[in-house]
Amino acid sequence: MESKGVEEEFEVSQGKSIGELWREAAWFITHTALAIVAMVASIALYSLAHPSPTADLPKLIGTALAFIGPLFFGFLIARWKHNDTARYVWISGIIIFAIVCVWVIDLPTGPGLCEHCLVLERLWRTFFDIEHGSGLMAGEGLMVGSWVPLSLFGYAIGARFGLD
């Protein structure tokens, strides 16, 4: 009986070796990080204009930048690297959004903006309501729960166009 290498013992997805799957996983994590860095850079550049933190328009502009900045960056990276993994970064967005949703649902409420909110109202006001937030997550629900997943979707869309 002939001994097989470690890579030959496993049935691998689509005929790929373990090493190729590890490289794809590393690229997936790298693209996820690049999308978040692109979002942070876009928002940081916008913050140099000193927008009002309480006004609605700067939050809408920040939301647009959280999508457009990574979209453009994902396009450029995909053109430069031609890595198909970049188009699947939207999956990270869904996973992050789901984790943050569970976190918000488990946060205790007290006297304040969302004391008697039901689950869907709590999530809506935390992530999407610009005028009447829930007060949970220290007011950072828009950035953590909306902008980060939105940046990952934008990056994946940009990468998709960059790979064509």
pLDDT of 104-125, one tens digit each? 988 887 667 777 888 899 899 8
Looking at the structure of the chain, the number of domains it has is 1
What pLDDT sits at residue 140? 83
Domain with 105 in it: 16-163
What pLDDT sits at residue 11? 55
In this structure, is residue 8 part of a structural domain? no
In this structure, is residue 93 part of a structural domain? yes
pLDDT tens digit string along 76-115? 999 998 989 999 999 999 999 999 999 998 888 766 777 7
Alpha-carbon 56 to chain mean position:
22
In this structure, is residue 11 part of a structural domain? no
- CA 161 – CA 164 distance, rounded (Å): 5
Full-model pTM: 0.84
Residue 159 has pLDDT above 90, yes or no: yes
